[in-house]
Amino acid sequence: MAKVNCKADIEKTLAIPRSSSDPEIGQISPLPATTDNPIPTAATTFIPPDGSLLAWSQVLATLLTCTISWGLPAAFGVYQLHYRDTLHLPQSQISWIGSVQFFLTYGVCTFSGRLADAGYVRSTMCLGTFLVVFGTFMSSLGTKYWHFFLAQGVCVGLGCGVMFMPPLAVTSSYFSRNRTMALTCAATGTSVGSVIFPAVIQYLMPTLGFGWAVRTSGFVALGCMVAAIALIRPRLEPRRSGPVVEWEAFREVPYALYAGGAFLLYWALFFGAFYINSFARNVIGFSTVDSVQLLIILNGVSIPARPVAGYIANWHVGVMNTYTVATVFFGVVQLAWMAVHDRAGMYVIAVFFGVGNGVCQGLFLGSLASLTKDVTRMGTRIGMVHTLVAFATLAGPPTAGAIIDTSGGRYTYAQVWAGTLILVAAGLFIGARTAVVGKRVMVKI
């Protein structure tokens, strides 16, 4: 494995402006020895394999990475209940741990995406793995709020953000016609992790205690990432020059509208995942175990929802069309949550939440990738939007928690807030679609 020689190499990579000699679409040249284990140059061709065993092994590597980088933050609902019961703090304060974790997971994507484009794929994945495992083990030893905030919120969040973008950028380079399907299948890892980690914590805590339950999740994360790093195979020549942020992308109307819609969507996206179990316990009367089962159902339903939506988007309707409809559906589900007053309704709304949340997250990468035609810029452009939505995820759960706390424990106003934001986001996605194809409805995009 080639290693980054020194800090100056990375700084130079991020600082040098793009030159005219950089490879564009359709060009390829042998990979220099400084990249992280690229496949042999005899196999490097810019025409994507679009379905070979090697290509789908990159999907598996990205799926394993998503299992950790998004599964761990998405499981915070279990921690939210535990910290509230043990630390006796307001929900809005506790939710800052999960919000900071999500913020950093998204926030460093611009930098890790640029490093991925520059060829430092395995190096960043190894660094991210270390931070996640170290932060998880430190969380298992925590006893005070600031312990969990630093270990789980900051350290694990940074690790998740560092490890996420490189395999995504690599996978995108292996597919063209089947890219939406490949990225949606890879994003299924988010749901897999969202099921595994709550189950590990909830069902091991009574027998092993909180500390060893959390440490077990750390060992699971380590095993998944070792496999992912072994599978990953970069295939494009590194784009060593170029800015960290390509501001000209925001001058493209479809990209700018999409970025604005993504910000609003992710401001409210994790409201249900963070609060459905506390709503079930505090309002409906569920036990703690049953309320966590709702979270597992929500995340479990999203596992098949993602590839099914990816298939429909890839082969029939188009990724932007499917994504826009899914966003409208998810906004309506948020508002329909206000009508739930019994146990049966909670299980139904959990299923609908799983479908809406899963499809919105699953198609996020594919729809954004469809607006990026130059795959050598894929990591940078996707990372830019992820950094933007980082601020939305930072504010979202605490905003919802503050609304609930100031409403005397009622969730109605928070539900209206979330549903409205998501429907406005859908309107911006419609605007992005219109900017590309005009007012034509029956167009696959």
24 within some domain: no
178 within some domain: yes
214 within some domain: yes
CA atoms within 13 A on the CB side of 149: 8
- What CATH number is attached to the domain comprising 109? 1.20.1250.20
Please, where are the H alpha helices in 89-178? 91-107, 109-117, 121-140, 145-148, 157-173
31 within some domain: no
Position 323 scores a pLDDT of 93
- Residue 335 binned pLDDT confidence (cut-offs 50, 70, 90): very high
201 within some domain: yes
Position 16 scores a pLDDT of 38
113 within some domain: yes
Q: Is the pLDDT score of 4 beyond 50?
A: no
Least confident of 54-68, 79-93, 368-382: 368-382
**Phi, psi (deg, nearest 5) at residue 145:** -55, -45
User: Distance between CA 45 and CA 152 in Å, rounded?
Assistant: 41
Query: Do 360 and 323 touch, CB atoms closer than 8 A?
Result: yes
Per-residue pLDDT of 385-416, as tens digits, reads 888 888 888 888 889 989 998 998 899 999 99
User: Distance between CA 129 and CA 169 in Å, rounded?
Assistant: 17
User: Distance between CA 366 and CA 311 in Å, rounded?
Assistant: 12
Position 443 scores a pLDDT of 73
The label of the residue with tokens 């694990």 reads: 156
Q: Which residue has the higher pLDDT, 444 or 183?
A: 183
Mean pLDDT of 61-88: 87
Task: Give percent of the chain with pLDDT exceeding 90.
Answer: 36
Position 244 scores a pLDDT of 66
Domain coverage including residue 131: 49-231+244-435
Tokens describing residue 121: 């794929």
Averaged pLDDT score across all residues of the chain: 82
Mean pLDDT of 51-78: 88
Least confident of 4-13, 50-59, 73-82: 4-13
Q: Is the pLDDT score of 200 beyond 50?
A: yes
Q: Which residue has the higher pLDDT, 383 or 144?
A: 144
- Give the total number of structural domains in the chain: 1
pTM: 0.71
Q: Is the pLDDT score of 305 beyond 70?
A: yes
User: Distance between CA 77 and CA 100 in Å, rounded?
Assistant: 14
